[in-house]
Amino acid sequence: MTLTAAEWSAVALSLKIGLVAVLCTLPIAFALAWLLARHRFPGKILVDALVHLPLVLPPVVLGWLLLVLFSRSGPLGAWLEDWFGISLMFRWTGAAVAAGVMALPLMVRAIRLSLEAVDRRLEQAARTCGATRWRTYLTITIPLSLPGIAAGAMLGFARSVGEFGATITFVSNIPGETRTLPLAIYAELQVPGAEGAVTRLAILSVLLSVGALLASEWLTRRGRGKDAHVL
Amino acid sequence: MTLTAAEWSAVALSLKIGLVAVLCTLPIAFALAWLLARHRFPGKILVDALVHLPLVLPPVVLGWLLLVLFSRSGPLGAWLEDWFGISLMFRWTGAAVAAGVMALPLMVRAIRLSLEAVDRRLEQAARTCGATRWRTYLTITIPLSLPGIAAGAMLGFARSVGEFGATITFVSNIPGETRTLPLAIYAELQVPGAEGAVTRLAILSVLLSVGALLASEWLTRRGRGKDAHVL
Amino acid sequence: MSFEVRVEKRLGGHAVAADFTAEGPVTALVGPSGIGKTSILNMVAGILGPDAGRIVVAGRALFDADAGIDLPPEQRHAGYVFQDDRLFPHLNVENNLLYGQKLARARDARIEAGEVIALLGLEPLLRRLPRNLSGGEARRVAIGRAMLARPAFLLLDEPLTSLDEALREEMLRTVERVRDQFRLPILYVSHNPEEVRRITAEVVRLSRR
Amino acid sequence: MSFEVRVEKRLGGHAVAADFTAEGPVTALVGPSGIGKTSILNMVAGILGPDAGRIVVAGRALFDADAGIDLPPEQRHAGYVFQDDRLFPHLNVENNLLYGQKLARARDARIEAGEVIALLGLEPLLRRLPRNLSGGEARRVAIGRAMLARPAFLLLDEPLTSLDEALREEMLRTVERVRDQFRLPILYVSHNPEEVRRITAEVVRLSRR
Amino acid sequence: GSGPETRRGPLVLAAASLQEAMTQAADAWAAKGHARPTLSFAASSALARQVLADAPADLFLSADEEWMEAAERGGKLRAGTRRPFLGNRLVLIAPANATPPASIAAALSGLGDGRLAMADPDAVPAGRYGKAALTSLGLWTGVERRIAGAENVRAALLLVERGDAPLGVVYETDARASRRVRVVAPFPAGSHPPIIYPIALLAASAAPEARGFYDFLLSPEGRAIFARHGFTEPAR
Ligand SMILES: Nc1ncnc2c1ncn2[C@@H]1O[C@H](COP(=O)(O)OP(=O)(O)OP(=O)(O)O)[C@@H](O)[C@H]1O
Ligand SMILES: Nc1ncnc2c1ncn2[C@@H]1O[C@H](COP(=O)(O)OP(=O)(O)OP(=O)(O)O)[C@@H](O)[C@H]1O
Ligand SMILES: [Mg+2]
Ligand SMILES: [Mg+2]
């Protein structure tokens, strides 16, 4: 299977956007998961609901919300523009933001499940051994929740690779900049008789995520291994 | 906020389709999670990849695949028609199938994470107490993986409520039959200046899933409670 | 002949082996830490598969590599007090205690739930979850669960750990009663020579070769 | 004055309370199962907050409800052998043993890793994960980890459980050495009167009121 | 409301851009005492695929000829019922509050680093017409790299409404429906292939009044409803 330049570009973009989205969302997702797993506070159910929002709302609505927030006249967009000279509109960075937002609920849930399964008594043991709260997170909590972190990263990456509605609504379909695999597939789907091209692109998507799957399995297995001080 | 009849119908449909999708997918998701968590077999990575497919592929492609499979002339559609006289085309049942398929990867992952965290030694203890393999699943494994089952059901329900692309592609956008909240939102988005109606519908989606969130929290808490023989 | 155990098992780099035949009702299994006592109990209970050998308890073959016999744990009817308790964390004390009893087809109700609960002083704890128990309380629940599973024989892995003097005495007397009254075969692991001396004269000593 | 403990704590429906001042290096804490020995050790270690009271160890106030003192566990410098081991499941034996040592700013290296490992016979196990250890092996790692955390005092909750006679003797001698040579204050929970008698004359007996 | 099972109206699959006009037409038909047609709006591509998969529907209104052609080739249309139904015009739009440029060429040359919003020029019908028009006007190479390809015309309209794109290419019907955009200039009719919305009865059609509704839509009364929304007579 040889790829056209346009197909290559879509694959490379999907990979780049998926990786950036997952890596940037991971700390946020961990912080939220930790907040939800470990703390009780007024309005917790609201935070929880907010985290699920991107799952519940149709992607197009999410894309529209992002557009409203990040367009030059939007509150966040104006701020980004004024302070950092950054604009997400029509840029691959905007696509990464869309993908990250869509991946967030999946990542938070997976990490939260693992965090809730961590035996708090082991953290207490670490504290009595002299580890500060932070040190305990780094050396005990995070390694023990590695299965959830890996699963979350995997789900998030897969979701990013499949993300369509929010992306096209937020940053449009610009070849080489925001035309990821799903957007390329969409374009092909609009034309009768392009089923062959659609199939090729779909197979590329699947291959990308099989790669991610293997990486996450490897990560989980390594985490269970002998010398797993992750940091 | 008073709702129009059309809005009510979309809410009721979304709720019905979400519940049916989650309830019917749950046993399949559990079986797959169990297979992936507890067994090694050749082709495991393939099964794993297949489970992730609905996440990775753009929903429209999934919808098209479902259309091809379940149309009257399609392999599964012909079989359902011949043997059971059932057709999913343009029916709410088809929308539930689409929602279930899209929810599957999320449910499998969450359940799998919890299953992998279950201490196998407790299952051994149950066996020595006289519980058969099946009895052990019912009384030990399933209750102990309840957090993952609840989280999976929650994620799956939220995903069902937000499902758009696969649904409209597979079963069209038929008021009262397949026009769920996201499809109703899509319809409103076709009308310039209907942001108000879109917002109302989006809020309804969010309320639906906050309900589901509360239900799943309750289920998890109950599972940790005192008398949690679930079956 | 209560126990006939001849097994071999490789665990990691380590080899566990035993070969003994015990006549009396109670057989003590002693030996240095890490020699394989728990592994042998696990093999008798059916949750660890021997590489080779034969296990017969009270005339019933539970495992025989040559004859292809390997009964699943639930058909071996062991009452096993695990070294690490293994209480079911989602069930309260009462449901932990009754877990095995509920499952056994009323084979024989020689050991009564009420009696065991009273003996172990567990009444005030029946509604508690295992995570809220002290070490000795959890130990007592583990003992109670094993006794109430209507066992055909008992596997006790250092059963008196974490118990105070009074409870220890009570438990020893109970083991003696089970030994004398019901004549259930008992395989008893302990590091306490005094305990062993009191309960049986039949001691199997495992040692490194 | 090694320990000054005056605490109260409600746990579920149960109230744990203690009030004692100990002079000697080793203080034994005894009492029936479920009376609150482990809870008191947890309060001294700083992982369970007393409702009221005051805890002073070797002249250092770790907790004082009235003065608003409540040092976090990592600043209390306890060497705590938990009743239930609590080994870190993702770290091998070596990293479990060195976990505390790595964290302590070389306060004093009186207790050497090599020495502890040899004493506890852990060399062959250094690369093992906790889940592959026998009960007694895990116990030894827990003891080693506490001793190597460069503790200012020791909390030992039935430390000799699951150890065979020879290891028990070895460990008792080690405790005696720590007592005599390093003069670390030790709070020692045990159900074995003989063990207690050998190690100290200063016994705090908790009982139900 | 819809009638009982026995009086079920026809099921109409219609391109999403026809939604408002089509809904009014269905209302008008129902007002005459007929069972109200059930309307399903989606992208023409999705609807055509459903037609090709033997969907149990009665009428198909596509936003372009290609998908209708595909349905006909698949044998899914009732013979002789495929008709060009509506036409439309392509216009260049700008936000209502922007200063009006003189012409299409002037507007596009002032684009700067702004974006020209239009439906995907390689895929979506409106985008393909737009690309053809810009090409024949000799403007395409100048703006090719400034295109923001939207999912559909309405999404392109949204970008201009919000001012995120200073210019957009949409159908006249869309431009008229929004108060927040202003037409800079229409594209000359000859600059792109004629815009045609075809209609056809489906071979699978079983609803008794499908033919009646089809005839109503094609009647002067029916066409008048669509004309009020800016649709034109299709070019022959
Ligand atoms: N999964 C495993 N992999 C490798 N080695 C194992 C595994 N399980 C147990 N072992 C080793 O097998 C040996 C026997 O373990 P076992 O638990 O049977 O000892 P034990 O006699 O019960 O000791 P103790 O008195 O300390 O409880 C030990 O050396 C232990 O480290
Ligand atoms: N989280 C909890 N909720 C309710 N009760 C608790 C909780 N934790 C401990 N307890 C109770 O507090 C009491 C003291 O427990 P603790 O573990 O301190 O006892 P102990 O003296 O160490 O007993 P043992 O010798 O059996 O280990 C016990 O009755 C126990 O059931
Ligand atoms: Mg053992
Ligand atoms: Mg205790």
pLDDT digit string, tens, across residues C144-155: 999 999 899 999
Give yes or no for E178 touching B (CB within 8 A).
Answer: yes
Residue range A135-144: average pLDDT? 96
Nearest chain B Cα to E15, which residue?
A: B190
Where does the pLDDT of residue C109 fall: very low under 50, low under 70, confident under 90, or very high at 90 and above? low
Dig out the tokens for D159 from the structure.
């430390």
Ligand 1 atom nearest the C-alpha of D125 is 31
Exposure on the CB side of residue C26, measured as CA atoms within 13 A: 23
Residues with Cβ < 8 Å from A131, sequence gap 6 or more?
A139, A140, D74, D99, D103
Q: Which residues pair with D17 in a beta bridge?
A: D8
Query: What are the distances in angstroms from CA E125 to CA A167, B183, E155, E200?
Result: 20, 22, 14, 18
Q: How far is CA C169 from CA A81, C166, C173, D38, D208, in A?
A: 78, 5, 6, 22, 19
Domains of chain C, start order? 25-38+72-201 (3.40.50.300)
Does A1 have pLDDT greater than 90?
no
Nearest CA to ligand 2 atom 28: D34
Q: Count Cβ atoms below 10 Å from residue A170 Cβ, excluding itself.
A: 29
* Strand, helix or coil for residue B75: helix
Q: How far is CA E54 from CA B71, B85, E57, E64, in A?
A: 7, 16, 8, 20
For chains C and B, tell me whether 3 or more CB atom pairs sit within 8 A of each other: yes
Test site for ligand 1: of D127, D134, D143, most ligand atoms within 8 A of the Cβ? D134
With an 8 Å Cβ cutoff, is B85 touching chain E? no
A228 — pLDDT class (breaks 50, 70, 90): very low
Whether E117 has its CB under 8 Å from any CB of chain A: the answer is yes
Position A3 scores a pLDDT of 81
Please give the C-alpha separations between residue A124 and each of A84, A132, C81, D48, D154, in angstroms, as whole numbers. Answer: 43, 10, 28, 9, 16
Inter-residue contact D164 to C33 (CB < 8 Å): yes
**How close does chain C come to B146, measured CA to CA in Å?**
10
* A187 touches A173 (CB < 8 A): yes
What's the pLDDT tens digit per position in B45-102? 889 999 999 999 999 999 999 999 998 888 898 888 888 888 898 999 999 999 999 9
Give the pLDDT confidence score for residue A227 in this predicted structure: 36
Please name the fold of domain B5-39+47-224.
MetI-like fold (1.10.3720)
The backbone torsions φ and ψ at residue C93, rounded to the nearest 5 degrees and listed phi first, read: -55, -45
Domain coordinates of chain A in residue numbers? 5-39+47-224
Cα–Cα distance, B98 to B108 (Å, whole number): 16
> Whole-angstrom Cα distance, residue A44 to residue E82?
58
Helices (H) and strands (E) in chain A — how many of each? 12, 0
The whole-angstrom separation of Cα E205 and Cα E58 is 4
Tell whether B10 is within 8 A of chain A (Cβ): no
Q: At E181, is the secondary structure helix, strand, or coil?
A: strand
E183–chain A Cβ distance below 8 A for any pair: no
pTM of the model: 0.93
Minimum-distance CB partner of B226 among C73, C92, C149 = C92
- The CA C40 to ligand 1 mean position distance, Å, reads 10
Give start and end residues of each alpha helix (H) in D78-134.
93-103, 113-119
Residue of B94, A182, B160 whose CA lies nearest to E53: B94
CA-based torsion, A110, A113, A115, A117: positive or negative: negative
Q: At how many degrees (to 10) do helices B92-117 and B5-38 cross?
A: 40
pLDDT at C209 over 70: no
- Give D85-106 pLDDT, tens digit per residue: 999 999 999 999 999 887 766 5
- φ, ψ for residue E149, nearest 5 deg: -80, 115
- By most ligand atoms within 8 Å of CB, the mutation choice from C7, C9, C35, C44 for ligand 1 is C35
Question: Pick from D95, D77, D67: which is nearest to D153 by CA?
Answer: D77
Q: Is B216 on the interface with A (CB under 8 A)?
A: no
Q: Which two tokens stand for residue D151?
A: 């503790």
Radius of gyration over every alpha carbon of chain A, rounded to an integer in angstroms:
20
pLDDT band at B210 (very low <50, low <70, confident <90, very high): confident
CA D38 / ligand 4 centre spacing (Å) = 4
| Number of Cβ within a 10 Å radius of residue C90 | 23
DSSP H or E segment with residue D11? strand D3-11
Would the pLDDT of A22 be above 70?
yes
Task: Name the pLDDT band for A214 (thresholds 50, 70, 90).
Answer: confident
Q: How far is B140 from chain A (nearest CA, A)?
A: 16
The CA dihedral of C33, C38, C40, C44, to the nearest 10 degrees, is 160
State the number of CA atoms in the 13 A half-sphere of C20 facing the CB: 21
Inter-chain residue contact B205 with A56, CB threshold 8 Å: yes
Atom of ligand 1 nearest to the CA of C42: 18
Cβ distance A71 to E164 less than 8 Å, yes or no, reads: yes
Q: How far is D107 from chain C (nearest CA, A)?
A: 33
Q: How far is the CA of C28 from the centre of ligand 1 (A)?
A: 18
| E56–B89 C-beta distance less than 8 A | yes
pLDDT in tens, D146-198: 999 989 999 999 999 889 988 999 889 988 888 888 888 999 999 999 899 99
**Type of residue at D59:** G
With a 6 Å cutoff on the Cβ, whether C93 touches ligand 1 is no
Residues contacting E49, CB < 8 A, separation 6+: B64, B67, B169
D107 touches chain A (CB under 8 A): no
Q: Could E164 and A174 be called an inter-chain contact, meaning their C-beta atoms sit closer than 8 Å?
A: no
Q: Specify burial of residue C129 (Cβ count, 10 A radius: 0-12, 13-18, 19+).
A: buried
CA pair distance B78, B70, nearest whole angstrom = 7
- The 3-class SS string of A103-159 reads HHHHHHHHHHHHHHHCCHHHHHHHHHCCCCHHHHHHHHHHHHCHHHHHHHHHHHHHH
Q: Give which of C119, C55, C45 is closest to C82, Cα–Cα.
A: C45
Using CA atoms, how far apart are residues C114 and A127, in angstroms rounded to an integer? 42
Half-sphere exposure of C6 (CA within 13 A, CB side): 8
